Amino acid sequence: MVTTRSITAAELFQLGPDAPYVLIEGELVEVMSPQGRLHGKVLSRLNSILDTEIVEPGTGELLVGDVGFVLTRNPDTVLAPDLAFVRAERLANAGDGYLELAPDLAIEVVSPGNTLADIARKVELYLVHGSSEVWVVRPRERTIVVHHADTGKTVFRDDETLSSPLFPGKSLALRSVFRPR
């Protein structure tokens, strides 16, 4: 009989930043790495637009680069969205390691190797554990699907503008995210 033991968030952290894993209910799940050019372009544009035009200084932190979020303990679940936003008041006691909370906004940029089941599972985990919104960015389709825990999902196309209660008075023109270069 083969037995396996659960991995903790601390053990995942010890693997280092280059370890290609997230943790779901104590089980290591390999994530894709590295990503392709289209993924990188769209993620870079989205980060730049959110940072310079959407997120007001002092309202929170925009985090890029697979920052770990501990969603549950015993067994531990640690996810790392492509991009995330956390409101300032929720960061008051945060250290430099993994954040012990769900981001207010988690953004996943879909790559060819992602499965719909993997993306759906991440969306569910973020929303169940406290994220207000999850944006699933689909570069090839030029859409952003915005998921909310209470209202379901809305699909925005590249000729539309997306607004979020997280960023009052601000809106994101999808055309600027998906524009050719």
pLDDT, tens digit, for every residue of 145-171?
999 988 899 999 999 999 999 999 999
Multiple choice CATH, 9-178, 3.30.70.1290, 3.40.50.12280, 3.90.1570.10, 3.50.50.60: 3.90.1570.10
Q: What is the dihedral of CA 52, 55, 58, 61, to 10 degrees?
A: -100
Each residue of 35-79: pLDDT tens digit?
778 888 999 999 999 999 999 999 999 999 779 999 999 998 999
pLDDT of 113: 80
pLDDT at 125 over 90: yes
pLDDT of 6: 77
Each residue of 167-179: pLDDT tens digit?
999 999 999 999 8
Cα 67 to Cα 82: distance, rounded to the nearest angstrom: 8
Predicted model pTM: 0.87
Cα 145 to Cα 156: distance, rounded to the nearest angstrom: 6
Strand partners, 61: 86
